[in-house]
A = this chain, B = another copy of it.
């Protein structure tokens, strides 16, 4: 691993000064100690859950699988496109139930209808940035302990109803120095990232290291190329997320 990382670093110093795909994603996973992968099966139902980054313009009145309006215009749409074209024989059904502003406890409030009832075989959860951010902006009083406790409860409840569900836990991320994300975020926000990683390990879930992906990406182009406000991805950032996600599901 170290050799590979040094190779990539050395290359970056040469005439080609930047990383692009697939090198960004390769270098991200090269730094992971172990990578849990999920294999797609025929007729898999894949559910994306999360906050605004997942929601991203979807029509909340629609709930059709593999449907543009129902999936929004964010990383879920881009990942869905890749999943569907790479696996035409698998008849995958892909749903998005992200809702803007959500924190873990708000996922829990709607979990029966918006997760368990869909009976996903693969459940991807991307939650945590609001659990921290809203303490700065909205007077939210939850702490890192709230996040950890609520997240455990949510997964235990999921496992009870759907014992065979394959979990994908996505790392909350922020791009420092872009609009909303300033020094006040640190070091506390890093605790939320670590908690998501720990939960993934604990439940043997696949883990998507989004923070690493954005950290690598900003070596190639400025932060505002990848994110609109430090929290929400640009189209480039969405594509980066989709590609990073796809590395653990195939």
Task: List residues of chain A with CB under 8 Å of any chain B CB.
Answer: 17-21, 24, 56-57, 66-68, 71, 73-74, 77-78, 80-82, 84-89, 91, 217, 220-221, 225, 234-236, 238-240, 242-243
Contacts and interface: CB of A to CB of B under 8 A. Distances in A.
B89 A235 contact: no
A91 B24 CA distance: 17
A20 B87 contact: yes
Contact of A235 (B67, B87, B88, B234): B67
B20 A235 contact: no
A188 B155 CA distance: 57
A192 to B, nearest CB: 25
B78 A68 contact: no
Given A234-B66, A236-B66, A236-B81, A88 B57 contact: no
Contacts of A88: 18-20, 217, 220-221, 225, 236
Main secondary structure of the interface of A (DSSP, over half): helix
A89 B240 contact: no
B235 A18 contact: no
Nearest to A78: B81
A219 to B, nearest CB: 9
Contacts of A19: 88
Contacts of A85: 20-21, 24, 236, 239-240, 243
Contacts of A21: 85-86
Contacts of A66: 234-236
A8 B204 CA distance: 37
Contact of A221 (B18, B73, B89): B89
14 contacts: A17-B89, A18-B89, A66-B236, A68-B74, A68-B238, A77-B77, A77-B78, A77-B235, A78-B81, A84-B239, A85-B236, A88-B220, A88-B221, A88-B225
A54 B240 CA distance: 23
Nearest to A22: B86
A24 B88 CA distance: 11
Given A67-B235, A68-B74, A84-B225, 20 more contacts: A17-B89, A18-B89, A19-B88, A21-B85, A21-B86, A57-B68, A66-B234, A66-B235, A68-B238, A77-B235, A81-B236, A81-B238, A82-B239, A84-B234, A84-B235, A85-B236, A88-B217, A88-B220, A88-B225, A89-B220
